Structure 1
Amino acid sequence: MGKLIWRCSVSILLFFWMTMALFPRKSLAIDSIKAGESINGNTQILVSAQQKFVLGIFNPKDSKFRYLGIWYKNIPQTVVWVANRDKPLVNYSAKLTLKGQGLVLQNESDGILWSSTSSTFLKDPIAQLLDNGNLVIRESGSENYVWQSFDYPSDTLLPGMKVGWDLITGMNWKLTSWKSSNDPSSGDFTYGMDPGGLPQLETRRGNVTTYRGGPWFGRRFSGTTLFRDTAIHSPRFNYSAEGAFFSYKSAEDLTVRYALSAEGKFEQFYWMDDVNDWHLLYELPGDACDYYGLCGNFGICTSSTIPRCDCMHGYQPKSPDDWNKRRWVGGCVIRDNQTCKNGEGFKRISNVKLPDSSGDLVNVNMSIHDCEAACLSNCSCLAYGIMELSTGGYGCITWFKKLVDIRILPDNGQDIYLRLAASELDSDNRKLVVVLCLSVASLISFLIFVACFIFWRRRTIKVETGNEVQSQENEAEMPLYDFTMLVNATNDFSLSNKIGEGGFGPVYKGMLPCGQEIAVKRQAEGSSQGQTELRNEVLLISKLQHRNLVKLLDNKKRSLLKWKKRLDIIIGIARGLLYLHRDSRLIIIHRDLKVSNILLDNDMNPKISDFGMARIGYMSPEYVIDGYFSMKSDIFSFGVILLEIVSGRKNRGFFHPDHQLNLLGHAWKLWDEGNGLELMDETLKDQFQKCEAIRCIQVGLLCVQENPDERPAMWSVLSMLESENMVLSQPKQPGFYTERMVSNMHKLAVGNSCTSNEVTLTLLDGLQERVGSVVNLMVI
């Protein structure tokens, strides 16, 4: 019995030691090592004093390589710095040793994979991981660092790190993206500061600038709201003859970081303890106008207009044909080049992100008038701007080469003074005189009108006259119907056709010759409400059916909407929805986005209406199943609208002889079979470019994905529609793909050509509310 117990004890002990050997053993939490000491990459790490950061060997997901890096201690692995990013470990044996020259990372064969660079030899060095995530090397007893990881960033900018230049030492602090989310090696994008001209932060892909944040303009950066004091972080900018750099501080109780993604997005995150995840606060580029040089030289971008690119005042497209095709990169050229000592002057353009200042002239000791005079005296000067210095006073910046990467900002933009020929300025002066004359004439006319109205009001008791009613009817643009037609439609107002009765009188069911069912309200002789009230109700309904509420899918009129106009409408709707989701003071989810809620003005520019009404348009799968609404619900509705516009067919009531899929299912079936262009409206034949049509269909299918997380954000949708070079992901099967069971009788009913508009009308009468569904007889 004793032997059995002894054998069991030995077996348990052996099992314990074998189990422990399978897992890496970590040392006690130390934050530093001394000269000659090493940490084993398999078993040991450094942990900062307050347990905020860790230094050790990590293995990215789905990667066979291993790297020396720094990451957060109490946050799921988020790597903020990588030492040997371009020379990874291929096995599990590695050690980090501190020597007099610095830190050295070696593999099992003592080959050097990485080392810190320092020209200073230390007698008693210490390598320490600080609580801000900075790995430093210093002499024992000294607080001066001879080397620090903050001088060699990877893809992350932590509080206290710098982006910029030290012109004395030649140090260039910049971020370099990862190759991919699982590959820390140096990627395609860098984020740093351009030292030419005024300092400006920019993202580059190789030597090509993809995003520019605007130059430093004395007190802040032009063109972005990201680097401003908030409750989350406090940006700092240092600009002197010794160099220029940007850094920031964060609130003590918040974890904030900036990162450059593998796709070239400069992003700001902060950690949310309640959801245990990073929250994206901001990203750049944020919209199409943020992409560098979108409108070319002397072009100016406005995100709220269609098209978004225009030439600066006094300039015209270099290639009108390319401009009409939305190929703006060629830019603009000046109309009148008589700008050298020929009476030329300057025109102010307000609220802009200043042009790229790389290589242009900056003078911080020049007044406003001297700046204008200096530019005017040099025929090569294209424009000038005034900067308000943080130390007080003003400085001057002048542009000589070109004006590129300019956009209109909604607020906090700067002014630029553009050099123009006298003919352009005279034209402006003439326009100003015309505007002033018209304004004075309008004011006089208004005063005369007010006087006449007061005189008429004193002499008139009745507020409404027959002429007023007639003018209101004309304003409403109501089609008129012959009384005989209504008599025939209601079977001479037969009692069998009577479906109800209200304050005005009975309501009858009728049938027009085209087969359209209608409701006819007839005023009774003893009605408690008179003709005025009835007319007001009709006018209200007709105003809801305004002529600009165009039915985009009307079989009779859809051929009038050419492809270019449809594309403009699609982009306009996307821009309006982006404003609701991101740019408005309050984040708005529309909830009722459908074709009938898209208002077109006289120039066929779309306006979104009817926010948050009770009647739902194109419902997303998550709302139907779970009753859950989000911005992605609006994006699903937008995708349906997009597919309806390009196909010229409605999603509801869509039938196909070969299957019982709705429009979404039909679009997916054609796409999956490689026949996506067959979805296009037959009336658009030879009007569109295949690549544009395919892109629109692909974007539409991406928007109607069943999983909300797989639908793109609205800013991404807009970029997809406007950028020819943006790579789109492949859509999956959309929501509501299942086939329906319909009768042949229902199929035959689809061919009805009579059109109508349905509105939900709410009239308030005292404290009572009447809600009714009214079918308007007025055909658009």
Structure 2
Amino acid sequence: MYQKKEILKYFLVFVFRICSSTDTIGPNQSLKDGDILVSSGNAFALGFFSPGKSRNRYIGIWYNKVPEQTVVWVANRDNPINGTSGVFAIDPAGNLVLSDESRNLSVWSTNMSSITLQKSSSAQLMETGNFVLFQDQSRSVIAWQSFDYPTNTILPNMKAGLNRKTGLNKFFRSWKSHDDPGTGEYGYKLELNGTPQFFFYKGPDRLWRTGPWNGLRWSGVPEMDLNFIYNISYVENDDEVTITNVVKDPSIFARTVLNESGILERLTWQGPERGWARIWYAPNDQCDNYAHCGAYSNCDLFNLSEFECSCLPGFEPQQERQWYLREASHGCKRKQEESVCGNGEGFIKVKNAKVPDTSIALMTKNLGLTACQELCLKNCSCTAFASANISGEGNGCITWHGNLVDIRQFPNNGQDLYIRVSAAELAQNTRNSKGFHGKRLATTVIASIVGMLLILFLACWLSKKKRNGAKGETKPLFSSSTGLTSYDSRGKEMDGSGTNAKVSVFDVNTIISATDDFSESNKLGEGGFGAVYKGRLDSGQEIAVKRLSKISGQGNEEFKNEITLIARLQHKNLVRLLGCCVQQDEKMLVYEYLPNKGLDNFIFDKTRRSFIGWSKRFEIILGIARGIIYLHEDSRLRIVHRDLKASNILLDTSMNPKISDFGLARIFGVDQTEANTNRVVGTYGYMSPEYAMQGVLSIKSDVYSFGVLLLEIICGRKNSSYIQDNTVNLIGHVWNLWREERALDIVDSSLENSYDVNKILRCIHVGLLCVQECAPDRPIMSEVAFMLCNETRLPYPKKPAFIFNTASTTPYSKSASAENRSVNDMSITMVEAR
């Protein structure tokens, strides 16, 4: 009896082990049609399937938690089984084998050497979607894995690229069609000629390329800076050249697919209602098409011409007639009179570029930019050079010796490319380009139109300064005809209507003296366009100086924009501009000094946020709202700020809020409700979905940003901060708790019980109304202020934008505060986020 019990015990244990090991195939087990393996966390399943309308059967891996079957890997993609007679198992030699029992035929095998395998081999479906064949029972050595033999999908944690030790270079190939997973005509592969870069192919023809890795991203994929889903790891050493994307939030389902239509696209699962949403794709526009404009040309969708193609400096159209007929595939040639070898030649910088195809380029490590220029200058065959690493960590030099192909322009986040030109060409371009001449960079000149205006302004100022004879005395920069807000002779603010408007110009020596030569001790902070310093004038007045970085994203247009806008706008909740300084290659804005700096220094600081109680926070909220109402409705100009965020809300001595940083603001017509733009600028985490993903801008874009700010002030947390396993940002967290009637759980713990429950619930409610996904559903700011201050009935908020919820919704936005998420089936390819 005892022996029978023991036998039954061991039998039950054995059966239990087989039944519970649903992610593994052992030596004596097989998978028949209808059986599936499921990974330990239920993310992926492996089994037999038939795609679309096909009746053929394949072994594949798909998402187990996604209602619609989404296949990410296929074993026998080109050898289907007809019928349900397939068996998947480990053969006596230790290989995985797919057989068609009805035909007594093996249709697919891992085909690894029997020397490396053992009869105790086992295969396991991992939670990452990788199917791994282990060499022995201990599972200590991997003999084969599906991640090494991908089909059309790049999954998170999968290394894409080359294993130098084994020589394995993963080649991703599209399906033939939705119904046929067979090897299609589109491919995606890493090429090592010159410097490593991925190419997208149709048959043997190149369609698109990533460009080389520049220390931060692929040169041709500026959107990588705005990544919010993945942590990206690029490795290039003696063992491998690979790139790996790891999902920041494991609950997010994301994949990159080479589809049968010839598009490489990145997708995230948006829940049953939305399905798979595209967040990035390539090729995206005509400038993405490989060598679209031919050799020695630049493709720029943002130039003033109707034609996107232009010749590089020192070059002219190869066939002028075709060029002017908008047929640029023949490209450009060097001007015949040009001599670029030993005749005083130099280099002209092309900014924000995707560098040329590096297949014929040379990489030289451990060279800085100046040494790289000298290296290229010594070799007459060198046509261009660029830095191999723009991350600030390490250096390197890329030089091109032949045709420069597939260059394109980005609005931002490109890199500097230096084109070899003659001495004559160099001289002609010094007014609007920055070039190397001999062993030095040519002088940077302000763009012609803005430069002429600034020179005119400076001439007026110098004339008045000479008459007054007072060193460092500030004088009007803009006359009354400019329509800018002014200060009268007593220093009193004039009406913001634009009558008699004047802005003061400060001598650079005055600024240097006031800031103690921009000492670190006076540095207030670092923004997207440069540093801000505290200063004190000889009169004793404290000032804040925004010193624009020479390499910042803010150029002459943004600089002029900020001067013009702030000078016209006068409101107690807007920061006051005192003047500017344009001298000695410096561009600086001088503001009133606000000692408490930005709102972010308080609400996001664990210690300082306790200094602001609920009553003061509510006053700040209302002050911000009043400032935005003035911009949208009460000023003579209708202004959309475009970059409302906590760090752009400054606090005076009484903690009153003042909206700052108008460099990205947009003027609207009186009757204008929205605008479309190809230049999406701002900060991710605060950008509305229609603007971030479609470039549709309106006052409702600022309303969305205000809603994010409002929730941040209540919670004391950034929208981009990770809150819970089932949300990616603060908005998603608030929305979940609101639906569960637990909205008070989000309130900053430092407020303790000092707040009015009804008022704070009303504020949360209004915040959710402001961040609704559809712009027409959001209130205007005057309605927001009314709802905040009055016990009126509020509509129930609809689902917010940019949230991730494992049950039904997912996040995103393209961005870069890069934790934000978007919900639109579009990509952002023209973003200038900070």
Q: TM-score scaled to structure 1, two decimals?
A: 0.55
Is 1:371 the counterpart of 2:362? The answer is: no
C-alpha change, 1:71 and 1:317, in structure 2 (3 Å) is: same
Alignment pair present for 1:83 and 2:75: yes
1:200 and 2:194 aligned: no
Match of 1:64 in 2: 55
Which runs of no fewer than 5 residues in structure 2 stay unpaired?
1-17, 433-442, 469-474, 481-487, 500-636, 639-674, 702-771, 777-823
Match of 1:341 in 2: 342
For the Cα contact (< 8 Å) 2:278–2:827, is it kept in 1?
no
- The SS at the match of 1:66 is strand
Q: CA deviation at 1:219?
A: 3.3
Percent of aligned positions that are identical: 33
The CA distance in 1 between the partners of 2:229 and 2:42, in whole Å, is: 22
Asked if structure 1 preserves the Cα contact closer than 8 Å seen for 2:280 and 2:826, the reply is no
Q: CA deviation at 1:439?
A: 5.9
| Residues in 1 aligned to 2:72 and 2:415: alpha-carbon distance in whole angstroms | 35
- 1:232–1:441 distance in 2 versus 1, CA, 3 Å: closer
Q: How does 1:122-133 map to 2 (within 5 A)?
A: 122-123=117-118, 124-133=120-129
Distance 1:363 1:610, change over 3 A: closer
1:294 — aligned with what?
Answer: 292
Aligned CA-pair RMSD: 4.2
Corresponding residue for residue 417 of structure 2: 416
Partner of residue 106, structure 1:
99
One-letter amino acid of the structure 1 residue matched with residue 270 of structure 2 = M
Letter paired with 1:83? A
State the alpha-carbon separation in 2 of the partners of residues 438 and 160 from structure 1.
Answer: 53
- 1:175-190 superposed matches below 5 A: 175-190=172-187
Task: Tell me how far apart the structure 2 counterparts of residues 116 and 218 of structure 1 sit (CA, whole Å).
Answer: 36
Letter in 2 for 1:112: S
Cα distance between partner residues in 2 of 1:609 and 1:127: 52
Question: 1-side partners of 2:197 and 2:361: how far apart?
Answer: 12
Give the aligned partner of residue 330 of structure 2: 330
The 5 Å alignment of 1:237-276 reads 237-250=234-247, 251-273=249-271, 275=273
Query: Residues 227-260 of structure 1: CA distance to partner in whole angstroms, max 9, x if unpaired?
Result: 3474421111111133311111112222221111
| In 2, Cα distance between equivalents of 1:411 and 1:71 | 37
Are positions 1:54 and 2:54 aligned together?
no
Contact 1:580/1:589 (<8 A) preserved: no
Quick one: structure 1 residues 225 and 82, their matched pair in 2 at CA, closer, same or farther if it must change by over 3 Å?
Answer: same
Q: Which amino acid aligns with 1:246?
A: I
* CA distance in structure 2 between the partners assigned to 1:403 and 1:392 by the alignment: 27
C-alpha distance in structure 2 between counterparts of 1:589 and 1:252, whole Å:
27
| Cα separation, partners in 2 of 1:446 and 1:295, compared to 1, 3 Å | farther
**1:385-424: CA deviation from partner (whole Å, max 9, x where unpaired):** 1133779431110001211111111222111111101111
Partner of 2:598 in structure 1?
none
Which range is displaced more, 26-35 or 106-115? Answer: 26-35
Q: Which residue identity does 2:324 align to in structure 1?
A: N
Question: Secondary structure of the equivalent of 1:300?
Answer: strand
**SS class of match (1:407):** strand
Displacement after TM superposition at 1:298 (Å)? 1.1
Specify whether residues 84 and 424 from structure 1 end up closer, same or farther in structure 2 by C-alpha distance, changes over 3 A only.
same
1:34 aligns with 2:26: yes
Pick from 439, 455, 459: which aligns with 1:444? 459
Contact 2:296–2:311 (8 Å) recurs in 1: yes
**TM-fit CA distance, 1:314:** 1.4
Change (3 A) 1:248 1:420: same
**Partner letter of residue 220 of structure 2?**
G
Q: CA deviation at 1:427?
A: 2.2
Decide whether aligned partners of structure 1 residues 172 and 401 sit closer, same or farther in structure 2, where only a CA change above 3 A counts. same
Shift of 1:381: 0.3
Match of 2:291, as an amino acid? G
Gaps (5+ residues) in structure 1?
A: 1-25, 469-542, 545-574, 591-606, 614-628, 634-711, 719-780
C-alpha distance in structure 2 between counterparts of 1:46 and 1:406, whole Å: 47
For the residue of structure 1 that corresponds to 2:356, the secondary structure is coil
* Contact 2:49–2:57, Cα closer than 8 Å, also in 1: yes
Task: Give, in angstroms, the shift of residue 332 of structure 1.
Answer: 0.9
Report the CA distance shift for 1:33/1:244 in structure 2 as closer, same or farther (over 3 A): same
Aligned residues: 478
User: 2:94, 2:167 → 1: CA distance?
Assistant: 21
CA contact (8 A) 1:70 1:82 kept: yes
Report SS of the residue matched to 2:376.
helix
Aligned-partner SS, 1:92: coil
1:580 and 1:169 map into 2 onto residues whose CA distance is 44
- Deviation for aligned residue 1:286: 2.3
Q: Which residue of 2 aligns with 1:515?
A: none
Question: Structure 2 vs 1, CA of residues 344 and 188 (structure 1 numbering), >3 Å: closer, same or farther?
Answer: same
The alpha-carbon distance between structure 1 residues 308 and 446, as it changes in their structure 2 partners (threshold 3 A), is farther
SS in 2 for 1:388: coil
Instruction: Give the Cα–Cα distance (whole angstroms) in 2 for the partners of residues 298 and 92 of structure 1.
Output: 57
Q: Which has the larger radius of gyration?
A: 1
Provide, for residues 481-528 of structure 1, a one-character-per-residue CA deviation record: whole Å limited to 9, x for no partner.
xxxxxxxxxxxxxxxxxxxxxxxxxxxxxxxxxxxxxxxxxxxxxxxx
1:525-604 matched pairs, under 5 angstroms: 586=687
Q: In structure 2, what is the equivalent of residue 150 of structure 1?
A: 147
| Counterpart residue identity of residue 383, structure 1 | A
8 Å CA contact 1:202–1:213 kept in 2: the answer is: yes
Distance 2:362 2:371 in 1: 14
Aligned with residue 168 of structure 2, among 167, 171, 180: 171
Alpha-carbon spacing, 1:714–1:321, altered in 2? closer, same or farther (3 Å): farther
- Counterpart of 1:353 in structure 2 is 354
* Partner deviation per Cα, 1:568-625 (whole Å, 9 max, x = no partner): xxxxxxx9565579999855869xxxxxxxxxxxxxxxx9999899xxxxxxxxxxxx
CA contact (8 A) 1:29 1:47 kept: no
2:167 & 2:775 partners in 1: Cα distance? 47
Deviation for aligned residue 1:426: 2.4
Shift in CA distance, 299/182, structure 1 to aligned 2, threshold 3 Å: same
- Aligned partner of 1:9 in structure 2 is none
Q: Write the letter of the residue equivalent to 1:225.
A: P
Q: Tell me the amino acid that sits aligned with residue 108 of structure 2.
A: W
- Structure with more contact order per residue of length (Cα contacts < 8 Å, sep ≥ 6): 2
1:379-458 to 2 correspondence within 5 Å?
Answer: 379-388=380-389, 392-429=393-430, 440=455, 443-445=458-460, 448=463
Q: CA deviation at 1:225?
A: 3.2
What amino acid sits opposite 2:187 in the alignment? T
After alignment, is 296-305 or 115-124 more displaced?
Answer: 115-124
CA gap 1:274/1:174 in 2 versus in 1, 3 angstroms: same
Kindly tell me: are residues 340 and 713 of structure 1, through their superposed partners in 2, closer, same or farther at Cα, counting changes over 3 Å?
same
Deviation at 1:79, TM superposition (A): 0.3
1:218 Cα shift? 2.7
Q: Quick one: which of 208, 218, 237 aligns to 2:215? A: 218
Decide whether the 8 Å contact of 1:116 with 1:147 is kept in 2. yes
